[in-house]
Amino acid sequence: MDVFGSFSLLLAFVCAVYAFVGGIFAIKTRHPLLIKSARQSGIATCVLIFIATFCVEYLFFTDNFSMAYVVSHSNRDLSTFYKVAALWAGQEGSLLFWSTLLSIYVISVLIAYRNKNGELMPYVGVVMAGVQIFFLVLNNFVENPFKTLATVNASGVLEPFTRMDGNGLNPLLQYPEMVIHPPNLYSGYTGFTIPFAFALAALLARYPGEKWIHLTRKWTMIAWCFQSLGILLGAHWAYAVLGWGGYWGWDPVENASLLPWLTGTAFLHSVMMQEKRGMMKVWNVWLVFCTFLLCILGTFLTRSGVVSSVHAFANSQIGPWFVGFIVLTLLVCFVAYVKNRDYLKSENQLDSMISRESSFLFNNLLFLIACIAVLSGTLFPVFSEWFTSNRISVGAPFFNKVMIPIGLAILFLTGVGPLLAWRKTSGESLKRNFGWPAIIGLLGTVVLAVIGYRDAYSLVCFFLCIFVFWTIVMEFYRGAKVISARSGMSMMMAAHELSMRNTRRYGGYVVHFGMVLVFVGLAGAAFNTDIQKAMNIGDSMKLGPYTLVLQSGDTKVEKNYTAQRMIVEVLKDNKQLMMLYPEKRQFQGNEQAAGTMVAIYSTLREDLYVVYAGMDPDANVPVIHAFLNPLVKWIWLGGVWVVMGTLLALMPNRRVALGVVTVADASAAPAAPALTPTATLREGHD
């Protein structure tokens, strides 16, 4: 199976080269058969990569300990679930996994558009094949997952060699989220290849802007959705497994995943400027280019360990390859841009400071500054070493100082932007749209300050969250009211109908709502408290409204590990609430492989987060570290809404049946015109 997989991988490389070179000739000659063969070669590349990946999984499932990769990341007792995940536990497999996910996108694009967009598709195929070639070079010649173990025998000849058992999977990765977090994040990283391929192809082919934008919108949203979900799952994993009480530490690998998300989000917004007003074309093209480059950079940072980080386990040979690829891509993008820049001329000018256009402009500016801040902070050690020979890093205070105000400003625009009119907005409509949300927001903030949430940034954040929430509610209400008046549906049904008629716009609002929830959760971080105590059995400690009593400790032997478990009783108002079981796990066969299992009691108000921090070396009693983290759950809930909103936005619009207004409805209709900027009348997102 290893030879078969290895051969598939090599053949995939050959096919990708053919798809690339053949594709270029196909574009030059426009010969239909050549175009077809290049496309089919692209499809073959993907299929061969799938076969190679299947082979690696097969080797894991058959416990083939003659394979170096299997030995490094699996053992006989590893459960099936984690054997699947072992594929992306190390360098070689992660890179192969990258190629696999990319192939899913590539094959979908090649098949879905096989008879459409004839002028553009050969270019798209060439760009995608180019990216695939790069990763296949790494898979085949730099980090090949199909290496076998070998040993030198008595006569000095290399011979194959099989181990009895493997080293096992890194315990940090033996957690359900680690099985779903990397595929999501990687699907995001790889997914941005598709918009990039379309943007570069459209530029090279001088293809009409509104068409390629329309084609890539869906793909960008899919990639964006995976990226968002991947980031949140990663944060949740860090929260539940690393045991330090937080979910985001501005670690280089976390930052790397945030960078393409920031530019991708900026693109999803600025693209509307191009669709509606024919503006920001150069900007959009470069945003897509940058997003793709940041995805490659993110993969590079994660895999190469260039910036020291807990995530970057490996220091390997792939660094120069990635830098080379990034430089080459940048060069190609730049040349393509310079040669075809006349085709990206803007059709309109900005008219007013208070308009939809300007809100998009500031939104993009903020996302861009956020991206530059995170990028420079992350790469600071690398650059400072180049320029000053001192390696200097910056920490959380740097990122927080810059990113909190940017985040709040973007949150503000989330509420304001969608309700401003294109070109120019009157003072009257500002009052009508924002009066109530601002008043309710202020009242809510005062209440929160009175009941004890006193922190300047957090209060601003709460105000904005309430404000944005009400602007969204009012949008749904106004639209639904019109439909309800015309058709006699209930308000709930009307809101549903409204969303289905313009999925992109109302899906967007749902995503915004999700982000509001995320911001509520983030604002809670200002009120985190914690306490740590070495406790004898029967000792108790108080944290907020809870009292923690250490009842006992026990040992739990499982197949792959042994857990030391503390049994902590939680009391609230002197009544027993529940039991929590924080653990330390000792993984089999290696005294160094330990893992922490945090016990969390999570409510909408706060998380009680309890860690068994080990034995106190002096007193030889267990140390319990408890955190009280307000509002954390809102972040994960927000994530769910973000995904649902994106899915809604991906659905096709429902067609409105015309001319069925009954007499009864017609009499109710005159109520509608009074609300002039209704969802259906005013030009919205779509």
Partner 1 sequence: MQNRAKFGVGIGVIVVALAFLAWLGYGESKTYYHTIAEYQSLTGSARNHRMRLAGTVAPGSIRHVTGGTEFVLEEQGKTLAVRYVGSDPLPDTFVDKSQALVEGRPSTDGKFVAEHVQAKCASKYEAAPGGDKPAAPAAATQTSSM
Strand partners, 546: 543, 572
Q: Tell me whether residue 460 or residue 644 sits nearer to partner 1 (CB atom).
A: 460
Which distant-in-sequence residues (6+ apart) come within 8 Å of 514 by Cβ?
638, 639, 640, 641, 642, 643, 644, 645
The site map against partner 1 for 604-633 (x = CB under 8 A) is ---------xx--xx----x-x--------
Minimum distance from residue 424 beta carbon to partner 1 (Å): 11
As a whole number of angstroms, the distance between CA 322 and CA 417 comes to: 38
H or E element at residue 486: helix 456-487
Q: Tell me whether residue 474 or residue 597 sits nearer to partner 1 (CB atom).
A: 597
Which of 80, 115, 151, 155 is in the footprint of partner 1 by CB under 8 A?
A: 151
Name the token pair of 407: 């985040």
Q: Tell me whether residue 623 or residue 668 sits nearer to partner 1 (CB atom).
A: 623
Minimum distance from residue 170 beta carbon to partner 1 (Å): 5
Using rule CB under 8 A, residue 594 touches partner 1: yes
| Binders of partner 1 in range 346-375 (CB under 8 A) | 349-353, 358, 361-362, 365-366, 369, 373
- The residue among 553, 577, 551 whose CA lies nearest residue 565 is 553
Which of 37, 40, 108, 148 is in the footprint of partner 1 by CB under 8 A?
A: 148
The site map against partner 1 for 12-51 (x = CB under 8 A) is ----------------------------------------
**Taking the alpha carbons of 336, 339, 340, 344 in that order, is the dihedral positive or negative?**
positive
Segment interacting with partner 1 (CB under 8 A) among 182-190, 233-241, 391-399, 521-529? 391-399
- The residue among 519, 542, 540 whose CA lies nearest residue 529 is 542
CA angle 103–636–217, rounded 5-degree value: 40
Minimum distance from residue 303 beta carbon to partner 1 (Å): 11
Minimum distance from residue 538 beta carbon to partner 1 (Å): 22
As a whole number of angstroms, the distance between CA 108 and CA 196 comes to: 15
Which of 114, 163, 211, 682 is in the footprint of partner 1 by CB under 8 A?
A: 163
Minimum distance from residue 670 beta carbon to partner 1 (Å): 39
Q: Tell me whether residue 242 or residue 672 sits nearer to partner 1 (CB atom).
A: 242
- The residue among 504, 527, 262 whose CA lies nearest residue 403 is 262
Q: Tell me whether residue 352 or residue 487 sits nearer to partner 1 (CB atom).
A: 352
Which of 3, 446, 661, 669 is in the footprint of partner 1 by CB under 8 A?
A: 3
Minimum distance from residue 49 beta carbon to partner 1 (Å): 17
Which of 146, 289, 477, 519 is in the footprint of partner 1 by CB under 8 A?
A: 146
φ, ψ of residue 306 to 5 degrees: the values are: -65, -35
Do residues 468 and 414 lie in contact, with contact meaning Cβ atoms separated by under 8 Å? yes
Minimum distance from residue 580 beta carbon to partner 1 (Å): 18
What burial class does residue 55 get, using C-beta atoms within 10 Å of its C-beta: 0-12 exposed, 13-18 middle, 19+ buried? buried
Q: Tell me whether residue 208 or residue 395 sits nearer to partner 1 (CB atom).
A: 395
As a whole number of angstroms, the distance between CA 108 and CA 197 comes to: 14
Minimum distance from residue 476 beta carbon to partner 1 (Å): 31
| Binders of partner 1 in range 166-185 (CB under 8 A) | 166-167, 170
Using rule CB under 8 A, residue 487 touches partner 1: no
Which of 398, 527, 581, 601 is in the footprint of partner 1 by CB under 8 A?
A: 398
Do residues 48 and 78 lie in contact, with contact meaning Cβ atoms separated by under 8 Å? no
Q: Output the CA torsion 590→591→592→598 (10° steps).
A: 100
Minimum distance from residue 362 beta carbon to partner 1 (Å): 7
Instruction: Specify the pairing of strand 599-602 against strand 606-615.
Output: antiparallel
Q: How far is CA 93 from CA 42, 142, 644, 645, in A?
A: 22, 12, 31, 32
Q: Tell me whether residue 555 or residue 574 sits nearer to partner 1 (CB atom).
A: 555
Do residues 333 and 326 lie in contact, with contact meaning Cβ atoms separated by under 8 Å? no
Q: How many CA atoms lie within 13 A of 455 on its CB side?
A: 13
Name the token pair of 161: 């060699």
Q: Tell me whether residue 10 or residue 273 sits nearer to partner 1 (CB atom).
A: 10
Which of 62, 552, 562, 590 is in the footprint of partner 1 by CB under 8 A?
A: 590
Minimum distance from residue 614 beta carbon to partner 1 (Å): 5
Using rule CB under 8 A, residue 200 touches partner 1: no
**How many C-beta neighbours within 10 Å does residue 472 have?**
22
Q: Tell me whether residue 172 or residue 648 sits nearer to partner 1 (CB atom).
A: 172
Which of 25, 244, 343, 581 is in the footprint of partner 1 by CB under 8 A?
A: 244
Using rule CB under 8 A, residue 582 touches partner 1: no
Strand partners, 575: 572
Which of 114, 147, 276, 496 is in the footprint of partner 1 by CB under 8 A?
A: 147
Minimum distance from residue 313 beta carbon to partner 1 (Å): 5
Which of 33, 154, 158, 674 is in the footprint of partner 1 by CB under 8 A?
A: 158
Using rule CB under 8 A, residue 113 touches partner 1: no
Which of 209, 252, 298, 381 is in the footprint of partner 1 by CB under 8 A?
A: 381
Q: Where are the alpha helices (DSSP H) in 488-532?
A: 491-501, 503-524
| Binders of partner 1 in range 296-315 (CB under 8 A) | 308, 310, 313-314
H or E element at residue 370: helix 356-388
Which of 137, 142, 394, 440 is in the footprint of partner 1 by CB under 8 A?
A: 394
Q: Tell me whether residue 5 or residue 507 sits nearer to partner 1 (CB atom).
A: 5
Q: Tell me whether residue 426 or residue 532 sits nearer to partner 1 (CB atom).
A: 532
Q: Tell me whether residue 313 or residue 436 sits nearer to partner 1 (CB atom).
A: 313
b/e per residue 282-317 (b: at least 16 CB within 10 A): ebbbbbbbbbbbbbbbbbbbbbbbbbebebbebeee
Q: Tell me whether residue 242 or residue 600 sits nearer to partner 1 (CB atom).
A: 242
Segment interacting with partner 1 (CB under 8 A) among 139-147, 191-199, 223-231, 481-489? 139-147
589 φψ region: left (φ > 0), alpha (ψ -120 to 50), beta (else): left
Which of 405, 444, 544, 553 is in the footprint of partner 1 by CB under 8 A?
A: 405
Length of the chain: 686
| Binders of partner 1 in range 518-537 (CB under 8 A) | 532
As a whole number of angstroms, the distance between CA 303 and CA 91 comes to: 7
Q: Tell me whether residue 1 or residue 577 sits nearer to partner 1 (CB atom).
A: 1
φ, ψ of residue 295 to 5 degrees: the values are: -65, -45
Q: Number of residues in contact with partner 1, rule: CB under 8 A?
A: 75
Q: Tell me whether residue 397 or residue 659 sits nearer to partner 1 (CB atom).
A: 397
As a whole number of angstroms, the distance between CA 512 and CA 644 comes to: 11
Name the token pair of 245: 């009480």
| Binders of partner 1 in range 67-106 (CB under 8 A) | 68, 71-73, 89-91
